[in-house]
Amino acid sequence: MDVLEALRAETGVVAVVGAGGKKTTLYALARRAARETNGRVVVTATVRIPPFDRRVAQVLLTDDPAAALEETTSWPVGVVPERDGADRYGGYDPTVVDRLAETGSADLVLVKADGARTREFKAPGDREPRLPRRVDTVIPIASVRAVGSPLSADHVHRPERVAAITGRDRGDPIRPGDVARVLASERGGLKGVPDGATVVPLLNKVDDDDLRAVATEIATELLERAPSVERVVLARMIADDPVVEVVEA
């Protein structure tokens, strides 16, 4: 299955949250959508994001993204409000992304909606995720490579929150069920998802058969725990053809 179809990321507002490949996923979806659909594809963020000028046709710094897109002819395009220091762009308030969606200036708006400090797994903080109200699809991401690692800050962003959801102790090895429990939790992967939005969890870095077996175990339990989730995508998002398997309820 094509990754755009698998992740329900063909049109509308699509937000990625979690850890273990958010930016890779954003840029892979943007390139593919612009190439395959010839659509107006936008990459943006509601949190800070590292510079991604080489990942898109251009990056526009603007307080009014809809107006800035009127003269755009090359896609995908990044829109951000400003630089936030030397190595980050700032993110918009989610209401700005809502207004962008309302204008119809883009066919697909891809949004980075939380941070993870390059960790493989996380649970959201009090002010996360920063989801637009008009989001159509939310993609909670976790890396299957987190399984077997200690539940510590070296591997997990906000390990204390993962511990609170799973009942595990800091330092315990992460189990497949721990990943499933967090992604299926209203305090984890489902946090803040607006009514009517579709949730498609993504298990990333499924690089071999052993990791595929781990991912399948996670996906099976996740679907049991979250009746609102209809599918889980197993993928290797750095690959040209990233979808490894789609596990459906």
Q: Report the candidate in 126, 62, 132 with the shortest Cα–Cα distance to residue 94.
A: 132
Say if residue 64's pLDDT is above 90: yes
**Predicted TM-score of the model (pTM):** 0.98
Average pLDDT, the chain: 97
Confidence band, pLDDT 50/70/90 cuts, at residue 131: very high
Secondary-structure percent of the chain, ordered helix, strand, coil, rounded to 5: 30, 25, 45
Domains of the chain (ranges plus CATH)? 3-39+109-248 (3.40.50)
Task: Note the pLDDT tens digit of each residue in 9-33.
Answer: 999 999 999 999 999 999 999 999 9
| Residues 6+ away with beta carbon under 8 Å from 141 | 16, 17, 18, 19, 20, 21, 22, 25, 201, 202, 203, 204
Say if residue 217's pLDDT is above 90: yes
Task: Note the pLDDT tens digit of each residue in 90-121.
Answer: 999 999 999 999 999 999 999 999 999 999 99
Task: Please tell me the distance from the alpha carbon of residue 124 to that of residue 126, in angstroms, as a whole number.
Answer: 7
Task: Please tell me the distance from the alpha carbon of residue 214 to that of residue 208, in angstroms, as a whole number.
Answer: 10
Mean pLDDT of 40-56: 97
Q: Which helix (H) or strand (E) holds 219?
A: helix 209-225
| Residues 6+ away with beta carbon under 8 Å from 84 | 48, 90
Mean pLDDT of 46-66: 97
Task: Please tell me the distance from the alpha carbon of residue 163 to that of residue 2, in angstroms, as a whole number.
Answer: 35
In the numeric block, the tokens 């998002």 are attached to 237
Q: Which helix (H) or strand (E) holds 23?
A: helix 22-37
Q: What is the pLDDT of residue 86?
A: 81
Enter the tokens of residue 220: 């099976």
